[in-house]
């Protein structure tokens, strides 16, 4: 499943991209209607792609210089960076007649101040005019994120702005088959990169060299973006630093790696832990604890189970030697994943007991756990799809036993 081929072809239906585009738009419009919005205006990079099936490359991720406007009854309009419009019209026929220049652009305020506010006012007037044409100018306009000058300009135009972030996240909770297949393809790319690590990591290599090796392999296999690579080893592994450095590996080091990569819009979040050479008994016990916490949670994944039920199997902040659950957040965690790196539902002892959510068929989760002790730490993360009678694990790199580098055949039993 999910790995019939990395390219669409004329002779086989591998991923039905036309259906994928239509399903995402349909689900968004259903949610707009359900939430009682007149329209939804999205600025987030991933949200625009979800709605319009268009993108620009990584440089545009944080510029807030593109937007998509859609209502329950009107197909989306893409407000595109000017120089990209002609290529979009040529390459994206499903939206070619609804692409216009983004007149509100100021590249995060870097334009002259007067221009920032002028552009914001112009774009607000443009949006109001279109909402009036659609007959929804008196209904709420949902926005996922934006800049302050544009928000002020919308208020001046008398537009009722409400939170649209939930409206764009809700329809993404349940993944279609095509979405699950793309997530699994994205995972397969990461696993090839992990294999390169366990085949080559050795004393003397530095964390940044492993980072480069991972990135080269992931891009080589067709990923379009790498949002993060954490490479953490030895005495940097506890407490968890969530980063990478130029530290040199030594014999006996634990090494854990996190990859957040993107293939055709769909993300991974994937930690694996290895050891350089034979592990100590203490390291095996550390690894065993992290692995058991993860799969104690995984075995509960099925429709109808609450996020509180899953969070309850993880240790409290106090058991980890921390003050409170806010301080312990992200050590033991579950989060939805798909077109966005983080999606609904999220599982955490910080809030799941007070605000539980119910798992549904089609949820895709990344579950991740961590344990550290006396300068050694293990971080493990796997990805799962909730199915009718339970779950299916999408990630396949062997994590049940601790793998020793550099020889992939050296696998040490847990505990």
- Residues 311-350: tens digit of each pLDDT: 999 999 999 999 999 999 999 999 999 999 999 999 999 9
Confidence at residue 406, expressed as pLDDT on a 0 to 100 scale = 78
DSSP E strand boundaries for 133-193: 141-143, 161-163
Q: Is the pLDDT of residue 373 over 60?
A: yes
Element (H, E) at 266: strand 266-267
Burial readout 327-363 (b: 16 or more C-beta within 10 A, e: otherwise): ebeebbbbbbbbbbbebbbbbbbbbbeeebbebeebb
Angle at 328 between CA 326 and CA 330, to 5 degrees: 95
Confidence at residue 7, expressed as pLDDT on a 0 to 100 scale = 81
Q: Residue 187, SS3?
A: helix
Q: What is the pLDDT of residues 167-198, one digit of tens each?
A: 999 999 999 999 999 999 999 999 999 999 99
Place of tokens 């998509």: 68
DSSP state of 91: H
Q: Is the dihedral of CA 333, 337, 342, 347 positive or negative?
A: negative
Confidence at residue 263, expressed as pLDDT on a 0 to 100 scale = 96
Confidence at residue 1, expressed as pLDDT on a 0 to 100 scale = 52
> pLDDT band at 228, cuts 50/70/90?
very high
Which one has a higher pLDDT value, 104 or 3?
Answer: 104
- Determine the average pLDDT of the residues in 70-87: 97
Place of tokens 């806010």: 326
- Determine the average pLDDT of the residues in 220-228: 96
Give the chain's count of helices (H) and strands (E).
11, 17
DSSP state of 295: H
Which residues make beta-bridge pairs with 232? 256
Q: Is the pLDDT of residue 371 over 90?
A: yes
> pLDDT band at 409, cuts 50/70/90?
low
**Burial degree of 43 (CB within 10 A; 0-12, 13-18, 19+):** buried
Place of tokens 């859609």: 70
Number of C-beta neighbours around residue 99 at 10 A: 18
Taken in order of first residue, the domains within the chain and their CATH numbers are 17-172 (3.40.350.10), 177-412 (3.90.230.10)
Q: What's the mean per-residue pLDDT of the chain?
A: 95
Which of 3-7, 240-244, 291-295 bottoms out in mean pLDDT, i.e. has the lowest? 3-7
Q: In the chain, what percentage of residues exceed pLDDT 70?
A: 97
Confidence at residue 2, expressed as pLDDT on a 0 to 100 scale = 60
Q: Is the pLDDT of residue 105 over 90?
A: no
> pLDDT band at 412, cuts 50/70/90?
low
The encoded tokens of residue 241 equal: 């630093």
Confidence at residue 221, expressed as pLDDT on a 0 to 100 scale = 96
Give dist(CA 204, CA 288) in Å, integer: 27
């Amino acid at each position: 499943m999910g790995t019939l081929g990395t390219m669409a072809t004329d002779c086989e239906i591998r991923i039905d991209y036309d259906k994928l585009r239509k399903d995402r738009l349909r689900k968004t419009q259903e949610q707009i209607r359900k939430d009682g919005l007149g329209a939804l205006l999205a600025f987030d990079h991933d949200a625009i792609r979800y709605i319009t099936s268009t993108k620009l490359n990584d440089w545009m991720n944080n510029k807030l210089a593109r937007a998509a406007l859609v209502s329950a009854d009107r197909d989306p309009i893409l407000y595109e960076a000017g120089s990209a419009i002609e290529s979009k019209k040529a390459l994206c026929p499903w939206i070619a007649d609804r692409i216009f220049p983004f007149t509100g652009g100021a590249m995060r305020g870097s334009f002259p101040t007067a221009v920032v506010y002028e552009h914001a006012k112009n774009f607000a007037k443009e949006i109001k005019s279109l909402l009036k044409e659609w007959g929804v100018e008196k209904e709420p306009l949902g926005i996922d994120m934006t800049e302050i000058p544009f928000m002020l300009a919308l208020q001046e135009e008398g537009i009722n702005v409400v939170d649209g972030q939930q409206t764009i996240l809700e329809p993404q909770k349940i993944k279609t088959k095509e979405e699950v297949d793309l997530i699994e393809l994205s995972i397969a790319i990461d696993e090839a990169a992990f294999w390169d690590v366990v085949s080559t990591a050795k004393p003397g290599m530095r964390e940044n060299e492993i980072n480069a090796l991972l990135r080269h392999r992931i891009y080589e296999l067709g990923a379009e973006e790498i949002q993060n690579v954490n490479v953490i080893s030895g005495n940097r592994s506890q407490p968890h630093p969530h980063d990478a450095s130029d530290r040199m590996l030594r014999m006996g080091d634990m090494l854990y790696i996190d990859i957040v990569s993107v293939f055709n819009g769909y993300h991974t979040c994937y930690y694996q832990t290895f050891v350089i050479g034979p592990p100590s008994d203490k390291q095996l016990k550390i690894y065993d604890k992290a692995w058991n916490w993860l799969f104690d949670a995984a075995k509960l994944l099925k429709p109808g189970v609450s996020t509180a039920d899953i969070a309850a199997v993880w240790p409290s902040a106090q058991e980890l030697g921390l003050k409170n659950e806010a301080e312990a957040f992200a050590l033991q965690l579950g989060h939805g994943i798909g077109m966005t790196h983080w999606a609904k539902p999220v599982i955490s002892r910080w809030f799941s007991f007070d605000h539980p959510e119910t798992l549904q068929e089609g949820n895709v989760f990344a579950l991740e756990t961590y344990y550290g002790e006396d300068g050694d730490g293990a971080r493990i993360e796997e990805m799962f799809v909730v199915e009718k009678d339970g779950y299916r694990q999408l990630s396949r790199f062997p994590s049940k036993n601790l793998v020793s580098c550099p020889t992939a055949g050296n696998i040490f039993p847990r505990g």
